[in-house]
Structure formats: C-alpha cells, structure tokens
Amino acid sequence: MLSIDLTGKRAFVAGVADDRGYGWAIVRALAQAGASVCIGTWPPTLRIFTKSLERGKLDTSLPDGGEIRFERIYPLDAVFDNDEDVPEDVRSDKRYVDLTGYTIQGVADQLRADFGDNCLDIVVHSLANGPEVKNDLLDTSRPGYLAAVSASAFSLVSMVQRFGPLMRPGGAVISLSYLAAERVIPGYGGGMSSAKAALEGDTRTLAFEAGRRWGIRVNTISAGPLASRAAKAIGTIEKMVDYYRLNAALPEANTAEEVGSAAAFLCSPLGSGITGETLHVDKGYHAMGMQADPLLASE
C-alpha cells in the first residue's frame, strides 16, 4: 500500500500561532506521517501560544489517536535576517526584551546548536503580513507595500538562504501562496497580491538555485481562502470563502486538512520529482473562467 512515510524526518514550520490556520494543518499532517516537528512563532503571539498549548486549549489530536508533540518552539520574527537588523524599539518592546535568537539567522543557529549540521528535511514557510491589506493598491504607501513583500515573500528567500545549508539532500521547502498572485482579487490589497506574485516567481528561481546547490526541492501551494484568525485581517474573508464555495469546479470550500495533506505529499518521497511548482489546492476555482453561480441558479 502506497503511503506517505516521513518517519525519521525533521520539519521546521514557520508561522504557527494557533490551531486554526493552514500552518497548524500542515503540522498535523507532517506529524501524522511520522515527522518530528519544530515550529517558529511570532514573538508577540509566543506567550499566548505556549500557554494555550500547556493548558490543553489547542487541538493536538491526531487521527491515529496520538498527539502532536513539538521538539522545539522557537521565537521567530521573519522580517529580520540578523540581530543587527532589529531596531531598538523592537528590542526594547516588552514582547521581545526577554527573547534572543528570534531573527531568521538566529533560529538557524539555534537549530544547528540543538540538532547539529544537516538536521532538517522539511522547511515550511507559512508567513504573510500586509499592514495595509485593506487598502486598494492605489491607496497603498511605499512602506506598507515594502512591508508586505518583506514579510510575505523575501522571508522565504532569507529562510532558504539560511536553512538550506542545514538541510539534507532530498529535502523539501514549501510555502503558501494565493490566487491573487495571478488574478485580481478585490479587497486583497496593500501590496499583498504583489508579494504573492513575488513568492511564486521566487519559488521557481529558488527551486533551480537551491536544487543545484543543496539538492533540495522548493514548491508553493496556492490555497483557497480560509477564515483563520490571521485571514480575518483582510476584512472580507468570509465573503471570499462563500464565493469560492459557489463558484469552484467542485462547489465547496477547501479545508485546512486538504492543504495539510497536499503539503505532506509535496514534502515526501512521493513528490521527489516535483519542484518549482505552484500547486493549486482550491477545489478547482483557479480553473474557472466565469462565475458559475448564475448558471447553476438558472438550471
């Protein structure tokens, strides 16, 4: 029987802050397949996340009756590459002041200290932030635009730069994109569509460069909308989910679990021939050329 087996593999998943988003679904799928999992959590949410985990408020259950157990939980702010990039107002912020090693390089150094060289097989980039996401692109400021690209796209480049040397040949990097990289999605502004387009373009280039340099694969999943806590910053996320449900090729909304399963496949030996790919997991919505709802209503 063909199955996904990640036993003996170690994954690092960046961008997990609760148990409702795609990041958590990917963690669950990787753990179910047998991988050991470390995560990186944004410092402002780290305390809430760890306390919730300790108090059993997060759903750590696995379908086989087991539980998700993290090898390590690291603070990670992926807009900073090195310690010298962190401005003083961030260093002295009460949510950061007691933390160290929360830059991308700092986490890479800590992974090496904890597990040695060649310690990773899977890296997941589940990171996105656009401070002006509710603004039309025409109303987006330069700082807002650059912040969106920095947090949502360049962070992938930086992670591959720094985690690639820690990865074993045959390893896999995966990120999360969205259809706004290819099509106009009203309400998804602030430079986020540009950031997702950059993410997908960089995925192709990184697949070549990291493949030749370290023998690892780089792919991204273009997932349909999910009404997670983070996505609620968009403001219209519920309407977006409903629109997909009515107009996708399969008239239903995709689930977090479906995206998690696709990620586990891409990171497994079953996906060994796939790199540089944008895989749509959106019930076929991306393939539609016109609105289906009026056609269905007229039948």
Chain-centre distance of CA 114, in angstroms? 23
The residues annotated as belonging to the active site are: 178, 188
List, for residues 183-234, the tens digit of each pLDDT value. Answer: 999 989 999 999 999 999 999 999 999 999 999 999 999 998 886 566 555 6
pLDDT of residue 297: 53
147 has pLDDT over 80: yes
- What pTM did the predictor assign? 0.94
Residues 24-32, mean pLDDT to the nearest whole number: 97
> Domain ranges in the chain?
10-298
> Distance between CA atoms of 10 and 148, rounded to whole angstroms?
29
pLDDT bucket at 1, cuts 50 / 70 / 90: confident
| Residue 239 pLDDT > 90 | no
Asked if pLDDT for residue 295 goes beyond 60, the answer is: no
Q: Which numeric CATH code is attached to 10-298?
A: 3.40.50.720
pLDDT of residue 270: 96
pLDDT at site 4 = 95
Half-sphere exposure for 136 (CA within 13 Å, toward CB): 2
Tens of pLDDT along 71-90? 999 999 999 999 999 999 99
- For position 64, what pLDDT does the model report? 86
Mean predicted confidence (pLDDT) in 37-59: 96
Reported as a pLDDT band with limits 50, 70 and 90, residue 292 is confident
